[in-house]
Amino acid sequence: MNRSSILIIYTGGTIGMKEDPVDSTLKPFDFSQILESVPELGKFACKIDSYTFNPLIDSSDVEPSIWQSIARLIRDRYDEYDGFVVLHGTDTMSYSASALSFMLNSLSKPVVFTGSQLPIGKPRTDGRENLVSSVEIAAAKDEQGNALVPEVCVFFDSHLYRANRSTKVNSENFDAFNSPNFPPLAEAGINIKYYDVLIRKPQNWYERLTVNEELDTRVSILKIHPGITAQVVRNILCGPETRAVILETYGSGNSLTKDWFIDIVREASAMDKILVNVTQCLGGTVNMDLYATGKPLKDAGVISGYDSTTESALAKLFVLMGRYSDNDKVRAALLEDLRGEISR
């Protein structure tokens, strides 16, 4: 079998940061210092190249234009590599990885996002293990030479998650990510165990990779909470700048049933706004038929986001709205499971 080749795409994040001697804040440094800190990478029987973003960013500053750059880079270098590892800050990793999962069509190679909670230069860093395992996963192939995980995923603290199912759940523990509505795709212990039945495979391994480059970002997120006012709800749902709103509701998709609230939701629907219901709960799904507090939303034109994470719903909307100018087409595609992001 040919030696695998991997492209590491370094965008920034804690993994590559070091302390600024002047103000003691963490700032990004260059990739050669990452390589020096991880000599284990040299022991792999695969060729490893790197691409460094300029400027490197703390992922709190990530923009859709960076997702477009990552997607274009993967498309342009696709034939040269067997897999891609994206080094990214943890704060918005699930947003970026979800976006890439919808932007890349006919993916047949792994795209593994990873990062760390402690910079790679620190003695107790989690970055070394995250990076080394991500490279191993990105290079892993079966006997036919096909990638074991031809998906966009997030590797963190021994677990490989489907990107659009992942979410950051802890700001300081090493197990910072989880995938509450879908089991991990692989686990790293002494060996890496791949759960093959859970991993999505392309229909045609040889189809050309294409990119949905167009993103329409006119989306707002409204988190329902006790004491929310009509003015706030109206500004967000009916604002001229929004084409779609993600409603983060309680439990299985419930919201307040006050007349003023449902009237504003109806008003937004009449304005052709795309309204998607996701739950504030970490796990579980939206079912607007279950309670009398969910049904009025459905009747007012809100569509179910099922068990989608907010990050995935946002990314899916950006991509679908970039693709279709007709909001009904967007609504229809939202209900479909496009990349394993919802269970229906």
Q: How far is the CB of 171 from ligand ASP (least distance, A)?
A: 8
* Footprint on residues 194-253 left by ligand ASP (CB under 6 A): none
Contact positions with ligand ASP (CB under 6 A) in 5-24: 12-14
Q: Does the protein bind ligand ASP through residue 254 (CB under 6 A)?
A: no
* Ordered DSSP codes for 163-203: GGG-EE--SSSS--EE-TTS--SEEESSSEEE-GGGS---S
Closest CB 35 distance from ligand ASP, rounded Å: 18
Q: Rounded distance, CA 84 to CA 62, Å?
A: 19
166 binding ligand ASP? (CB under 6 A): no
Q: Which of 82, 91, 129, 216 binds ligand ASP (CB under 6 A)?
A: 91
Query: By the 8 A CB rule, do 16 and 120 touch?
Result: yes
Q: Which residue is nearest to ligand ASP (CB)?
A: 89
Angle between helices 327-334 and 310-323 (to 10 degrees): 140
DSSP for residue 102: H
Nearer to ligand ASP, 170 or 343 (CB): 170
Strands 186-188 and 192-194 come out as antiparallel
The tokens describing 219, both together, are 């989306």
Q: Which is nearer to ligand ASP, 54 or 144 (CB)?
A: 54
Site for ligand ASP in 56-75 (CB under 6 A): 58-60
Map residue 80 onto helix, strand or coil: helix
Q: Please name the residue that has the structure tokens 């329409």.
A: 216
As measured in angstroms, the least distance from the Cβ of 309 to ligand ASP is: 17
Rounded to whole angstroms, the Cα distance separating 17 from 30 reads 9
3-class secondary structure, 67: helix
Question: CB of 248: closest distance to ligand ASP in angstroms?
Answer: 22
* Separation CA 53–CA 65 (nearest Å): 12
Binders of ligand ASP among residues 121 to 150 (CB under 6 A) are: none
For residues 14 and 285, which CB has a smaller minimum distance to ligand ASP in the complex?
14
**For ligand ASP, which residue of 90, 134, 181, 255 counts as binding (CB under 6 A)?**
90
Based on the shown chain and the rule CB under 6 A, indicate whether residue 89 belongs to the binding site for ligand ASP.
yes
Q: How far is the CB of 176 from ligand ASP (least distance, A)?
A: 7
Contact 247, 219 (CB under 8 A): no
Give the C-alpha distances (Å, rounded to integers) separating 13 from 62, 118, 257, 308: 10, 10, 42, 25
If the CB atoms of residues 126 and 136 are measured against ligand ASP, the closer one turns out to be 126
Which window, 46-54, 85-93, 208-216, 331-339, contacts ligand ASP (CB under 6 A)? 85-93
Q: Which is nearer to ligand ASP, 63 or 299 (CB)?
A: 63
Tell me the number of residues near ligand ASP by CB under 6 A.
11
Question: Catalytic site residues?
Answer: 14
Give the CA angle between residues 62, 63, 68 to the nearest 5°. 115
In whole angstroms, the minimum distance from the beta carbon of 99 to ligand ASP comes to 15
Near ligand ASP in 99-118, by CB under 6 A: 115, 117
> CB–CB of 50/56 below 8 Å?
no
d(CA 10, CA 115): 10
| Contact positions vs ligand ASP (CB under 6 A) | 12-14, 58-60, 89-91, 115, 117
